[in-house]
Amino acid sequence: MLLGLPSTLLSIITGFLSSSSPTATTSPSLTPLTFHLRHQHAVTSDSRIIFSDVSQLSSFGPETTYTIPRKKVVVQKPSLYANFSDARDLRRSQLEGALDVDWWEDEVPGPALGERDALLQFANMAFDAYYPDNTTEWYDVGGDGWNTSTPWGWLPGEDGMRGHVFVSSDNSTVVIAIKGTSAGWLVGGGGPTTGKDKLNDNLLFSCCCARVGPTWSTVCPCYKGGNKCDRNCVENALVEKEDLFYPVGLNLYTNVSYMYPDANIWVTGHSLGGSLSSLIGVTFGVPVVAFEAPAEKLAANRLHLPTPPSTQHITHMYHTADPIAMGACNGVTSSCAIGGFAMETRCHLGQVIRFDTVNRLGWSVDVRTHGIKFVIDKLLGPESEWKEEEKVPEEGGGLWSLFPGWGKKKPEGDRDERNSTKRTRQIPMPKPAFEVEGVDGVCTDCFSWEYGDFDDPATKGTFGCPQ
């Protein structure tokens, strides 16, 4: 809500807020920011990140402008990225505990996600990230430029990481939106995606190399019969293939922060793009909004990411009829199996806004509900089927929500610029993921599996292993 302030005045205000030090941002309210699509990002076949600038004349048109309310968000950053990276190497070489990361708690302007409309803005950005415009000129940061009409990932059926970069009018804040690479077969376009996606998904989000049944070819030779899985084997498989996913995300983030050195960076994405956003958010301590992402806690462990004291700057939105976000995308007869995917993890990082569409709206579990378009149409957009009944005393539930705009003074804090009819809670409360997904506050993935060192010659290669 820009409330008709002259744009020069707005940019002075927002510019002041964002460039001031953390202590100065303790003013109770931050103005919303308006973001425009500024760049596209893609990756070349040799895993270089490239960008293109989106001009006013692009085929996207004006619907790529989003306004997002803000509040202060506490993030945890490694005091030095080099320490994070060293600690990760040591963990990988199993000297865990040898090097701790110093985490630095910081308060940054982040998105205020209390209202459905704010989530909708991010969902639209995540949705936009799927669509390329007619740009033909691409470059890499700090490099000699890169000219190609079709970078990797733009053609139908290609699976390279790509998406959009939105920048606020005052250049203070950047939103990186990452496309979910497996979406082709889910959203309806294209056939099953090829190698990289499936490999990434099955390595990151399955319990043991996508061992689903005897007829499945696994993506790594770690299944040891029964319910046994070789731990070193699954971790090494991911590290060996890691040019696929996480490191590309790290490069994307560092390249964008090189382009916008003074900006706050937020990351958003849908599906695999959401999981990757979260891993980037854990690594660099930046706010994240992820949609329908497969649960990434196990992946963070397998990638040996040092664990910050809190991951609450990461927000997941998903609903219970989506078998991918719920980790119910497995079994030889499930709809996921048709594409050869096994997404079995259930524990997310950060906080979760979970729409229980199965119990509240009677939806049946179906992979077709996973698409970001579906989520926008049915849950977040103006035609939303969701009616939140939860009472939120501090925002005025009950009567207040029956008579929007009546009585009650504006709540203090980040929402006081908002239109009062929108102030009732329209979405479930965000809660720590382990509370929503765990039992007694502990969420455990793959509990029916036994992980250990089973790599002895007696069992090697006997069960379902391709080599």
Contact 330, 206 (CB under 8 A): yes
Instruction: Verify binding: residue 280, ligand NAG, rule CB under 6 A.
Output: no
Nearer to ligand NAG, 266 or 363 (CB): 266
Structure tokens, 296? 């990434």
Report how far residue 427's alpha carbon sits from residue 82's, in angstroms, rounded to the nearest whole number. Answer: 39
Instruction: Verify binding: residue 419, ligand NAG, rule CB under 6 A.
Output: yes
In the region spanning residues 147 to 176, those forming contacts with ligand NAG, defined by CB under 6 A, are 147, 170-171
Structure tokens, 361? 């709206």
Among 48, 71, 92, 360, binds ligand NAG (CB under 6 A): 48
Instruction: Verify binding: residue 254, ligand NAG, rule CB under 6 A.
Output: yes
288: left (phi over 0), alpha (psi -120 to 50) or beta: beta
Among 131, 258, 406, 447, binds ligand NAG (CB under 6 A): 258
CA distances from 288 to 221, 227, 424 (A): 34, 35, 23
Least spacing, CB of residue 11 vs ligand NAG, in Å: 5
Contacts of 318 (CB under 8 A, 6+ apart): 291, 292, 293, 325, 326, 352, 353, 354, 355
Instruction: Verify binding: residue 444, ligand NAG, rule CB under 6 A.
Output: no
Instruction: Verify binding: residue 2, ligand NAG, rule CB under 6 A.
Output: no
Instruction: Verify binding: residue 4, ligand NAG, rule CB under 6 A.
Output: no
Report how far residue 348's alpha carbon sits from residue 293's, in angstroms, rounded to the nearest whole number. Answer: 9
Least spacing, CB of residue 57 vs ligand NAG, in Å: 5
Kindly indicate which of the ranges 88-96, 175-183, 234-242, 251-259 contains the residues binding ligand NAG, using the contact rule CB under 6 A: 251-259
Of these residues, 169, 172, 271, 278, which one is catalytic? 271
Contact 428, 390 (CB under 8 A): yes
Among 14, 173, 255, 275, binds ligand NAG (CB under 6 A): 255
CA distances from 32 to 2, 4, 59, 164, 409 (A): 7, 12, 27, 20, 20
- For 43, the enclosing helix (H) or strand (E) is strand 30-43
Name the residue number minimizing CB distance to ligand NAG.
145
CA 356 from centroid of its chain's CA atoms: 20
In the region spanning residues 62 to 81, those forming contacts with ligand NAG, defined by CB under 6 A, are 80
Kindly indicate which of the ranges 120-128, 129-137, 330-338, 445-453 contains the residues binding ligand NAG, using the contact rule CB under 6 A: 129-137
In the region spanning residues 167 to 226, those forming contacts with ligand NAG, defined by CB under 6 A, are 170-171
Please name the residue ranges forming H helices in 140-194: 183-187
In the region spanning residues 332 to 351, those forming contacts with ligand NAG, defined by CB under 6 A, are none
Among 57, 402, 439, 458, binds ligand NAG (CB under 6 A): 57
172 annotated active-site: no
Among 5, 19, 25, 58, binds ligand NAG (CB under 6 A): 58
Contact 332, 215 (CB under 8 A): yes
Least spacing, CB of residue 30 vs ligand NAG, in Å: 17
Q: What are the two backbone dihedrals, phi and then psi, of residue 265, each rounded to the nearest 5 degrees? A: -115, 130
Kindly indicate which of the ranges 98-106, 153-161, 375-383, 391-399 contains the residues binding ligand NAG, using the contact rule CB under 6 A: 98-106
Kindly indicate which of the ranges 99-107, 124-132, 289-297, 346-354 contains the residues binding ligand NAG, using the contact rule CB under 6 A: 99-107
Contact 126, 177 (CB under 8 A): yes
Least spacing, CB of residue 235 vs ligand NAG, in Å: 23
Among 90, 141, 358, 392, binds ligand NAG (CB under 6 A): 141
Instruction: Verify binding: residue 421, ligand NAG, rule CB under 6 A.
Output: yes
Q: Which of 399, 310, 298, 279 is nearest to 106 (CA)?
A: 310
395: left (phi over 0), alpha (psi -120 to 50) or beta: alpha
Kindly indicate which of the ranges 88-96, 135-143, 271-279, 381-389 contains the residues binding ligand NAG, using the contact rule CB under 6 A: 135-143
Instruction: Verify binding: residue 49, ligand NAG, rule CB under 6 A.
Output: yes
Q: Are strands 228-230 and 450-452 parallel, antiparallel or unpaired?
A: parallel
Structure tokens, 59? 């085929």
Site residues (vs ligand NAG, CB under 6 A)? 11, 48-49, 57-59, 80, 82-83, 99-100, 102, 134, 136-137, 139, 141-142, 145, 147, 170-171, 251, 254-255, 258, 419, 421
Residue numbers annotated as active site: 271
